Amino acid sequence: MNVLPMLSYVLISTFTPGPSNITTTSLAVLHGYKATMRYQAGLAVVVFVFMFLAGWLSTWLLALFPALEPLLRYLGAAYILYLAWRILKATYVFADEAVQPLGFVHGVMLQSLNPKLFVYAFTLFAGFLAPITNQPTHIVLAAALLAATAFMATSTWALFGSAIKRFLHIGWLQTTVNVLLSLALVYTALALIELI
């Protein structure tokens, strides 16, 4: 197992902007870091489940169901575009009666429809972690470490969102943040269905 390329792949895949990181940033801007914890937990649980399943199934699942990947791409792109619309229309009302943050179930939904995670999980286990796919304990440990890494990535983005929150009482800055985060999600959605 070649560790350095695998670590590179894991860090790049988890810490670069994607639907999970961008939506977590937006939630932290609106509600603060602490309010994103349930959403992040939902994201991390699905990462664990996907990694666990990829470890067990990677050798034959994609061969049996090659049409699954494009379907996941389109479903994921549709959900990401919905999130982009929500972020674009977000208002920054920093009072207690503001709209409730997305919770655990929303995190589970987003990650479950995230084809980037599907491709990432199966690429990781088929390419880098194939030697451990016959060892259940190693699969569970790898899935747990990868879920923890994903949680660290979304936490980093949430901390960034919390840090810029105090500046978002300025109208043009609110609009700029909304547009940039929404455009990043639109780009992600278009890239998923290979239009970019």
| Sequence spans of domains, the chain | 3-192
Among the ranges given (20-24, 29-33, 55-59, 137-141), the one the predictor scored with the smallest mean pLDDT:
55-59
pLDDT the model gives residue 195: 81
pLDDT tens per residue across span 161-182:
888 877 877 889 888 988 987 8
Q: pLDDT (tens digit, 9 = 90+) per residue, 74-133? A: 776 777 687 788 778 877 655 554 557 778 998 899 889 887 788 788 778 877 787 888
Q: Give residue 51's pLDDT.
A: 95
The pLDDT assigned to 62 comes to: 56
Q: What is the model's pLDDT at position 97?
A: 46
Q: Is 62 exposed, middle or buried (CB count within 10 Å of its CB: 0-12, 13-18, 19+)? A: middle
* Predicted local distance difference test score (pLDDT) of residue 155: 96
For the segment 40-81, what is each residue's pLDDT rounded down to a tens digit?
999 999 999 999 998 888 756 656 776 766 776 677 677 768
- CA–CA gap between residue 169 and residue 163 (Å, rounded): 13
User: Which amino acid is it at 104?
Assistant: F
Burial class (CB in 10 A: 0-12, 13-18, 19+), 67: exposed
Q: Is 63 exposed, middle or buried (0-12, 13-18, 19+ CB in 10 A)?
A: exposed
Residue 192 pLDDT exceeds 80: no
pLDDT at 158 over 80: yes
Instruction: Look at residue 152 in the predicted model and tell me its pLDDT.
Output: 98
Pick the range with the lowest mean pLDDT from 24-33, 91-100, 120-129, 136-145.
91-100
pTM for the whole structure: 0.72
If you write DSSP's letter for every residue of 60-124 in order, what string do you get? Answer: THHHH-TTHHHHHHHHHHHHHHHHHHHHHT-----STTSPPPP-HHHHHHHHHT-HHHHHHHHHI
Task: Please report the pLDDT score of residue 154 as a whole number.
Answer: 95
